[in-house]
Amino acid sequence: MKEIVLRQMKERGITIEGIVEIVFDLQKPYHPSLNKENCREAVNAVLDKREVQHAILTGLALDIMAEKDLLPQPILQIIKEDESLYGIDEILAIAITNIYGTIGITSFGYLDKMKIGLIGKLDSRKGSVNTFADDIVAAIASAAAAKIAHSLKGGSES
């Protein structure tokens, strides 16, 4: 299943390295000895979770279906326009952020507003629908950052 998820992410322009960069930027100020390999391990641990895989597949499928005009109205237009009051894209993402505790929600809120790195690229990409994709990336990065925060504080999160 993870291979399918990674392939679909790649097809939508989502790379592990892009997410690793975000995690590194989030956690480096708090953990000076942090390196990108630590971040990569955390991102992969998040992506190993079946519930995360399901959320990613669902969100990306909705983006693709909206892009191809395969959803009924009015939801098609709502998703295509990434309407600010829709919020379901964030709800799906919050399911991912919670896998390592509520600390991920704080990071997610920050990333959702600031649109750092790959998140901003997805959010502003013309010619494609990334209503769910940008929030999925923010959620994976937030969960991975939470995993690092827990593990570097002496916990043993897996």
Domains and CATH numbers, the chain: 2-152 (1.10.3760.10)
Take residue 55 and report the two structure tokens written for it.
Answer: 């959320």
pLDDT in tens, the chain (158 residues): 999 999 999 999 999 999 999 999 999 999 999 999 999 999 999 999 999 999 999 999 999 999 999 999 999 999 999 999 999 999 999 999 999 988 999 999 999 999 999 999 999 999 999 999 999 999 999 999 999 998 876 544 44
Contact predicate 101/84, CB 8 Å: no
Q: Say what the pTM is.
A: 0.94
- Answer whether the bond into residue 29 is a cis peptide, omega within 30°: no
Identify the residue whose tokens are 């959702």: 112
Burial class (CB in 10 A: 0-12, 13-18, 19+), 63: buried
